C-alpha cells in the first residue's frame, strides 16, 4: 500500500518536473536550475507579500482597537459622576418645593429657616453647575420627546398645539447627555 503511494507521489513529482523543464525551455533561462530558482524566488515574493499584508492588517486592527478603547475611557471619565448627580436631583427638587413656600405668612423663626434652605439650595445648584449639569429649558417651547416626557395635554387659549405650557418636574443634562427628562404639560 505504501509502495503504491510512493509510486504515485514519484509520478506526480516527475510530471511537475517535466512541466517546469518545458516552461524553462520556453523561457530565456540558460539552465533548468536557474528557472527553478526564479520560480522559488517568485513564490517567496508572493509569500512575503501575503505576510506583509497580514502584518499591516493586524496593525490597522490594533490601531482601531486602541481608538475605540480611548473613546470608551474618555466617555467613562466624562460621565463618571452621573450616578451621584442622579441621586442629588431629587434633593434639589425638594429644596425647590420648600423654597416655593410663601414666606410672608411665616413667623421670623420659620422665615430664617427658609433662608437657610435657600442658601443650601444655591450651593447645590453651584455644585451641579461645576459638574456641568444644566437644566433643560423647555417652558414655552415646542415639545421635544427627546428631552421631555409629556404627562398630560391641556387646552390653552392663544397657544399653539404641541407647546410646553407647564414644567411639572425639571429635566437635566450632564454635559451633552440627558440624565433626566423634564415632565411637562403640553398644549393640545
Whether the per-residue pLDDT at 30 is higher than 60: the answer is no
Render the burial of 101-119: b for 16+ CB within 10 Å, e for the rest.
Answer: eeeeeeeeeeeeeeeebee
| Span 47-93, pLDDT tens digits | 999 999 999 999 999 999 999 999 999 888 888 888 889 999 999 99
**How far apart are alpha carbons 182 and 151 in whole angstroms?**
10
Q: Give the pLDDT confidence score for residue 75 in this predicted structure.
A: 85
User: What are 98-104's contacts with CB under 8 Å, separation 24+?
Assistant: none
- In this prediction, residue 165 has a pLDDT band, given cuts at 50, 70 and 90, of very high
Q: Give the pLDDT confidence score for residue 19 in this predicted structure.
A: 65
135-188 falls under which CATH superfamily?
Head domain of nucleotide exchange factor GrpE (2.30.22.10)
**How far apart are alpha carbons 101 and 109 in whole angstroms?**
14
Helix axes 32-78, 2-26, angle to 10 degrees: 100
Whether the per-residue pLDDT at 164 is higher than 80: the answer is yes
Whether the per-residue pLDDT at 9 is higher than 70: the answer is no
Q: Domain-by-domain residue ranges, the chain?
A: 17-76, 80-131, 135-188
Query: Facing residues of 184 across strands?
Result: 150, 167
* Beta-carbon contacts of residue 92 (< 8 Å; ≥ 6 apart): 121, 124, 125, 128
This prediction has a pTM of 0.61
- In this prediction, residue 115 has a pLDDT band, given cuts at 50, 70 and 90, of confident
Q: Give the pLDDT confidence score for residue 17 in this predicted structure.
A: 66
Q: Give the residue carrying C-alpha cell 523543464.
A: 21
**How far apart are alpha carbons 107 and 109 in whole angstroms?**
6
Average pLDDT over residues 145-150: 94
Average pLDDT over residues 18-33: 61
* Arithmetic mean of pLDDT over the chain: 85
Q: Give the pLDDT confidence score for residue 90 in this predicted structure.
A: 92
Average pLDDT over residues 133-148: 93
Phi-psi region of 102 (alpha: psi -120 to 50; beta: other; left: phi over 0): beta
167 membership: H or E segment, kind and range: strand 164-169
Q: What percent of the chain has pLDDT over 70?
A: 82
Q: Give the pLDDT confidence score for residue 52 in this predicted structure.
A: 95
Amino acid at each position: 500500500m505504501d509502495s503504491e503511494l510512493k509510486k504515485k507521489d514519484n509520478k506526480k513529482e516527475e510530471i511537475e518536473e517535466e512541466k517546469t523543464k518545458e516552461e524553462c525551455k520556453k523561457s530565456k533561462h540558460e539552465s533548468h536550475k536557474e528557472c527553478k530558482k526564479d520560480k522559488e524566488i517568485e513564490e517567496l515574493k508572493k509569500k512575503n507579500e501575503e505576510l506583509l499584508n497580514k502584518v499591516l492588517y493586524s496593525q490597522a486592527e490594533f490601531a482601531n482597537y486602541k481608538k475605540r478603547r480611548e473613546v470608551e475611557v474618555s466617555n467613562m471619565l466624562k460621565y463618571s459622576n452621573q450616578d451621584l448627580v442622579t441621586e442629588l436631583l431629587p434633593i434639589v427638587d425638594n429644596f425647590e418645593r420648600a423654597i416655593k413656600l410663601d414666606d410672608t405668612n411665616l413667623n421670623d423663626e420659620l422665615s430664617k429657616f427658609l433662608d437657610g434652605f435657600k442658601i443650601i439650595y444655591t450651593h447645590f445648584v453651584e455644585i451641579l453647575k461645576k459638574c456641568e449639569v444644566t437644566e433643560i429649558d423647555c417652558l414655552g417651547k415646542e415639545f421635544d420627546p427627546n428631552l421631555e416626557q409629556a404627562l398630560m395635554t391641556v387646552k390653552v387659549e392663544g397657544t399653539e398645539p404641541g407647546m410646553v405650557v407647564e414644567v411639572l418636574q425639571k429635566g437635566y443634562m450632564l454635559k451633552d447627555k440627558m440624565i433626566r427628562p423634564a415632565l411637562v404639560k403640553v398644549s393640545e
